Amino acid sequence: MQDGLFVRPEGMRRDVAWFFSLPIPQAVWEMFAPLQNEDFVQFVEKCRGWK
């Protein structure tokens, strides 16, 4: 954190929402979300405003 390498959660949530709003990442996410860790899926879907 002191070296500025830590991404603040607020910015990360916004970045995740933006990234997964793009057509290709959204299509890939739809295919591979079922294969991901449940906590990660919930995080991404919450960022996208799905849950």
Overall number of domains in the chain: 1
- φ/ψ of 20, rounded to 5, equals -80, 0
- The reported pLDDT for the residue numbered 45 is 93
Taking the whole predicted model, whether its pTM rises above 0.75 is answered as no
pLDDT in tens, 8-44: 667 788 899 999 999 999 999 999 999 999 999 999 9
Does the residue 23 lie in any domain?
Answer: yes
- The counts of H helices and E strands in the chain are 3, 0
pLDDT at 7 over 90: no
Amino acid 4: pLDDT: 65
The answer to whether residue 1 is domain-embedded is no
Tell me whether residue 21 is in a domain. Answer: yes
Give residue 18's pLDDT. 93
Domain of 16, in residue numbers: 9-47
The token duo for 2 is 């002191």
